[in-house]
Amino acid sequence: MSRHGGLPRAELKSSTQPKSRSGNAACAFIDIPASCFNNSPMTRPDAMRRVKSYSASNGYVYQYCFYEVNRITHEGGPAGEFIYAISANRKTTFPLRIVVLQTALEAWGQANGRALTSSEEYAVAKMRLFQAFDEGEVPVAAPSAEELRLLVDESRLEDLLRMLNI
């Protein structure tokens, strides 16, 4: 017999385990342990996109933001498609697609002994976007941009990488 109400020591230990207010011993750590949630999981919010401006050499000031990258097949071969949301008048926004051919990336990798990183591939697509802004290839209105795809092939890749000092 112990001094705690006449219960044997083993029973005393098991009967004094902490419990939550609901009486659940598994959820007794300050009422909310890591494994017991009071709220259901929340949905992930939409990504915040940073709108940036670019003053092109043709006089237009474009607003753009990176939207997404997709791996696609372009004319029978693999490619990376970088999609930017573009606006030239701050009223209408339209998608602009830049296609970076995988064959160009592989050829550069073989010639230089290493493959381009995904960050370098993104930088190439962004430099192609700036080049298109400067050369007036990007239309001002959305309807004329529907089917526009700017291509980065082997010859253009070398020029863009030179601009990036890669």
What's the pLDDT tens digit per position in 51-107? 999 999 988 899 999 999 999 999 999 999 999 999 988 888 899 999 999 999 999
61 lies in which domain range?
Answer: 56-163
CA dist 115 and 12 (Å) reads 67
Is 138 among the domain residues? yes
The pLDDT-based confidence of 35 (bands split at 50, 70, 90) is: low
Is 35 among the domain residues? no
- Specify the number of domains making up the chain: 1
Is 88 among the domain residues? yes
- Burial-class residue 12 by CB neighbours within 10 Å (0-12, 13-18, 19+): middle
Is 100 among the domain residues? yes
What's the pLDDT tens digit per position in 129-153? 999 999 989 887 777 777 789 999 9
Is 41 among the domain residues? no
